[in-house]
């Protein structure tokens, strides 16, 4: 059985506070261009403010693609953040529920993605 998945990325641009789909970005050593919301820059500091997030290959219970740094909500375990851990994806459960630890990524299929740590940082602390 072949174990493959789509390799996809998205990017958070810190300066513009916008999330961009990878297929909308052209990144060179000296500039970033996108046809989405008109981002164009040749400022190296601005280029360095691009934070890449990889697709896990797993979708939530609603079919939404899960990416690194997405926030999930599970009816039993509460909120967690998708993170790369050692050799694979895992859900980091935040200590706000009195427990801090890791759950296998298979829990994502039984959870709902409710945001990400960049666009919705308050979801992690609420």
pTM score = 0.75
pLDDT in tens, the chain (126 residues): 445 667 778 888 887 888 887 665 666 666 666 554 555 555 566 666 778 888 888 899 999 999 999 999 988 878 888 887 777 777 777 655 555 566 666 777 889 999 999 999 898 876
Contact (CB, 8 A) for 26 and 78: no
For residue 13, what is the domain's CATH number?
Answer: 2.30.30.290
**Residue 4 resides in a domain:** no
Closest-CA residue to 28 (of 14, 13, 15, 43): 43
Whole-angstrom Cα distance, residue 59 to residue 40? Answer: 31
CA dist 99 and 123 (Å) reads 17
- What's the domain range around 106? 9-125
Contacts of 65 (CB under 8 A, 6+ apart): 8, 55, 56, 59
As for how many domains the chain has, the answer is 1
- Domain for residue 3, yes or no? no
72 part of a folded domain:
yes
Confirm whether 64 is domain-assigned: yes
Q: Is residue 69 part of a domain?
A: yes
């Amino acid at each position: 059985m072949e174990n493959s998945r789509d390799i996809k990325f998205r990017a958070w641009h810190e300066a513009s506070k916008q999330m961009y789909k990878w297929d909308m970005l052209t990144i060179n050593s000296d500039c970033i261009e996108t046809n989405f919301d008109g981002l164009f820059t040749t400022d190296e500091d601005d280029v360095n403010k691009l934070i890449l997030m990889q697709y896990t290959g797993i979708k939530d219970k609603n079919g939404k693609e899960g990416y690194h740094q997405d926030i999930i909500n599970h009816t039993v375990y509460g909120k967690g953040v998708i993170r790369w851990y050692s050799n694979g994806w895992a859900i980091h459960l935040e200590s706000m529920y009195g427990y801090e630890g890791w759950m296998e990524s298979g829990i994502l299929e039984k959870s709902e993605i409710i945001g990400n740590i960049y666009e919705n940082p308050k979801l992690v602390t609420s």
